[in-house]
């Protein structure tokens, strides 16, 4: 699959590990898979590999392909090549009874994503994190239309900090729940509480905006950020090159437990080497309790249990968001996050 793939270049240490650990195919893998609408890269990789995050290896991707990802579309054929004794996936089109690589144009909205886009689209298109220092760069609502304290759809707001008319669409939000590091207790950021959308109607100081969507009541003091077009980034699942040592900081929605398809925040981000496309595993620390010969309770720490995999789809400096792909038990805040 040499399309919509943005995968990792294996570092030297990873390459050594790969040599020691051959790629494992699933039992009776298909010789080919015809890509259909609704497929994801994760699903397709699981048809061939026991460990989908090792897909860059079976595709033998290089660093340049990571920087410039290619795309796959419905109708493409992914086929398994075992001719040299080492499994490899290729992409082709049937030409006179055989598979032949072929370049062609298809509408961009048909591109096969890495993970279900409908699950993460709101997290891509809306502000999620209020990081330290954002108050110096964000625009603010400084006044409302006459006789209005709270604003709704169709109302007028006046904002400072909008320099010109180059950005027309804006998100309205306010700082929400603090995100605390489970290990240190430090507040790394605040989740952004999304209030709605606004459109610039007249630049200036203050600028005039019309509220086009109000999911919650909007008032003076709320913050504004430019609203870029949502882009579902399509990165092939891949293992991080470096060692990951993080914790689950929260489960989106304010719940205490999660599972497959839950969105979680991690207490590490881009500053720690976490990238979009990384697959991470969740581990639970386990302690065995028993009674000794004197009937006194003793505990023995046993190896961490890996119980879930997650796909990182958005990163900030010190925080990242991941979608839980599969989980054998409930996801809990504070559980360890490491390499898969």
- Over range 5-18, report the average pLDDT: 35
Which pair of structure tokens corresponds to residue 187? Answer: 């507040």
More confident residue, 68 or 166: 166
CATH architecture type of domain 246-338: Beta Barrel (2.40)
Q: Residues 257-296: pLDDT tens digits?
A: 999 889 999 999 999 999 988 999 999 987 666 666 666 7
Of the chain, the percentage scoring pLDDT greater than 70 comes to: 79
What does pLDDT average to over the chain?
Answer: 80
**Overall residue count recorded for the chain in this entry:** 340
- Residue among 233, 331, 336 at smallest CA distance from 283: 336
- What local confidence, expressed as pLDDT, does residue 126 receive? 73
- What local confidence, expressed as pLDDT, does residue 280 receive? 96
Q: Residues 139-165: pLDDT tens digits?
A: 999 999 887 889 999 999 999 988 777
Task: Place 231 in a pLDDT band, splitting at 50, 70 and 90.
Answer: low
Cα–Cα distance measured from residue 335 to residue 282, given in angstroms and rounded to the nearest whole number = 7
Buried b (16+ CB within 10 A) or exposed e, 253-279: eeeeebeeebbbbbbbbeebebbbbbb
- What local confidence, expressed as pLDDT, does residue 116 receive? 77
Among 56-60, 102-106, 206-210, 327-331, the range scoring the smallest mean pLDDT is 102-106
Task: Place 212 in a pLDDT band, splitting at 50, 70 and 90.
Answer: very high
More confident residue, 93 or 176: 176
- What local confidence, expressed as pLDDT, does residue 69 receive? 55
Ordered by start, the domain boundaries in the chain are 12-112, 124-226, 246-338
Q: What is the reported pTM?
A: 0.76
Alpha helix locations (H) across the chain?
12-20, 41-48, 55-59, 63-67, 117-125
Task: Place 172 in a pLDDT band, splitting at 50, 70 and 90.
Answer: very high
- What local confidence, expressed as pLDDT, does residue 136 receive? 63
Whether residue 99 contacts residue 93, with contact meaning beta carbons closer than 8 Å, is answered with yes
Which backbone phi and psi does 308 adopt, to 5 degrees?
-155, 160
Of the chain, the percentage scoring pLDDT greater than 90 comes to: 34
Cα–Cα distance measured from residue 1 to residue 150, given in angstroms and rounded to the nearest whole number = 52
Cα–Cα distance measured from residue 336 to residue 340, given in angstroms and rounded to the nearest whole number = 12
Residue 205 has pLDDT above 70, yes or no: yes
Whether residue 211 contacts residue 153, with contact meaning beta carbons closer than 8 Å, is answered with yes
- Residue among 337, 134, 129, 339 at smallest CA distance from 252: 129
CA atoms in the 13 A half-sphere facing the CB of 12: 0
């Amino acid at each position: 699959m040499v399309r919509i793939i943005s995968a990792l270049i294996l570092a030297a240490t990873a390459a050594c590990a790969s040599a020691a650990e051959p790629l494992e195919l699933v039992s009776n893998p298909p010789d080919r898979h015809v890509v259909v609408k609704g497929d994801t890269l994760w699903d397709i990789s699981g048809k061939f590999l026991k460990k989908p995050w090792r897909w860059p290896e079976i595709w033998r991707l290089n660093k340049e392909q990571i920087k410039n990802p290619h795309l796959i579309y419905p109708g493409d054929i992914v086929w398994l090549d075992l001719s040299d004794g080492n499994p490899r996936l290729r992409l082709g089109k049937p030409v006179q009874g055989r598979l032949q690589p072929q370049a062609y144009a298809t509408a961009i909205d048909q591109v096969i994503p890495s993970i279900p886009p409908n699950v993460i689209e709101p997290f891509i298109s809306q502000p999620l994190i209020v990081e330290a220092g954002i108050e110096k760069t964000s625009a603010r609502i400084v006044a409302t239309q006459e006789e209005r304290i709270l604003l709704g759809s169709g109302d007028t707001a006046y904002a400072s900090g909008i320099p010109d008319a180059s950005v027309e669409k804006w998100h309205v939000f306010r700082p929400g729940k603090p995100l605390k590091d489970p290990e240190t207790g430090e507040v790394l950021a605040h989740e952004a509480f999304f209030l709605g959308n606004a459109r610039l109607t007249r630049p200036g100081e203050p600028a005039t905006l019309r509220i086009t969507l109000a999911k919650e009541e909007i008032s003076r003091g709320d913050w504004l950020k430019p609203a870029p077009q949502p882009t579902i980034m399509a990165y092939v699942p891949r293992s991080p090159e470096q060692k990951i040592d993080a914790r689950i900081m929260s489960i989106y929605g304010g719940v205490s437990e999660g599972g497959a398809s839950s969105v979680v925040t991690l207490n590490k981000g881009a500053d720690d080497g976490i990238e979009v496309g990384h697959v991470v595993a969740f581990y639970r620390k386990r302690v065995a309790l028993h009674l000794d010969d004197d009937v006194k309770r003793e505990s023995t720490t046993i190896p961490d249990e890996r119980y879930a995999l997650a796909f990182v789809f958005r990163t900030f400096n010190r925080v990242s968001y991941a979608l839980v792909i599969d989980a054998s038990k409930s996801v809990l805040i504070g559980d360890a996050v490491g390499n898969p």
